[in-house]
Chains A and B, each alone.
Chain A
Amino acid sequence: DIVMTQSPLSLPVTPGEPASISCRSSQSLLHSNGYNYLDWYLQKPGQSPQLLIYLGSNRASGVPDRFSGSGSGTDFTLKISRVEAEDVGVYYCSGKLTFGGGTKVEIK
């Protein structure tokens, strides 16, 4: 079974500063079609999760361009160029029908 490992578990951030979350999978998520089947989601407090990034690096509709995804194979990164207060919540990566454990982003 695939295991998705995120780090850090908790990430205190300062508004206006950058932030980065890592996701590592125990199996390659690189499909034969050249796409990485890796997504990023944000679950804001009290809400359902929302899709941020799909296929490794594509922003979902309506997602601000301060969010970006990168990586390939087994190592992936979500970056927020300048954190805003509305970005707080738990971030999850997901691949092959398995979610990572989540990274809680909170304002310092």
Chain B
Amino acid sequence: QVQLQESGPGLVKPSQTLSLTCTVSGGSISSGSYYWSWIRQPAGKGLEWIGRIYTSGSTNYNPSLKSRVTISVDTSKNQFSLKLSSVTAADTAVYYCARVYSYGSVDYWGQGTLVTVSS
């Protein structure tokens, strides 16, 4: 059973960079034709794709966030990471990491981690 766990600071100051890591257990991040993705959800609102990465390193980002987002993968640690720069209060949300099939379906989700942007 694959499990994903997000980790990182729960509070980030405005204009700084939000950094989160997702640790994958129960399977190798390099096995299978999967992408690894970040998705976020502001409180009381809907879901928003941030981006995804293949283990080769190829990425796809949400155009609305592309200028501020970097997703990377560390296969040796079975982890992938998110960096979101120049954050504002609008970036306050629960951030989920997820495993994604090549055709876009998310079959495994992390439990989510709340990140608050505030001074």
Q: Tell me the A residues contacting B by CB distance below 8 Å.
A: 1, 31, 35, 37, 39, 41, 43, 48-51, 54-55, 60, 90, 92, 94-102
5 contacts between A and B (CB under 8 A): A1-B64, A50-B109, A55-B103, A98-B49, A101-B46
Asked whether, in the complex, the Cβ of A102 is within 8 Å of the Cβ of B104, the reply is no
Chain A to chain B: the 4 pairs with minimum beta-carbon distance, closest first: A54-B105, A48-B109, A99-B47, A97-B49
Asked whether, in the complex, the Cβ of B107 is within 8 Å of the Cβ of A35, the reply is no
Q: Known contacts A48-B109, A49-B109; is A96 also within 8 Å of B104 by CB?
A: yes
Chain B's interface size range is 20 to 34
Please, how many angstroms separate the alpha-carbon atoms of A1 and B56 in the complex?
26
Q: Is B15 among interface residues, defined by CB-CB distance under 8 A?
A: no
Given known contacts A97-B52, A97-B60, what 5 new A-B pairs fall within 8 Å (CB)? A41-B47, A90-B46, A95-B104, A102-B46, A102-B47
B residues less than 8 Å from A1 (CB atoms): 63-64
B residues less than 8 Å from A54 (CB atoms): 101, 103, 105, 107
Q: Tell me the B residues contacting A by CB distance below 8 Å.
A: 46-49, 52, 60, 62-64, 96, 101, 103-107, 109-112
Q: Known contacts A39-B104, A49-B109, A51-B107; is A97 also within 8 Å of B96 by CB?
A: no
Asked whether, in the complex, the Cβ of B47 is within 8 Å of the Cβ of A39, the reply is no
A residues less than 8 Å from B103 (CB atoms): 31, 35, 37, 54-55
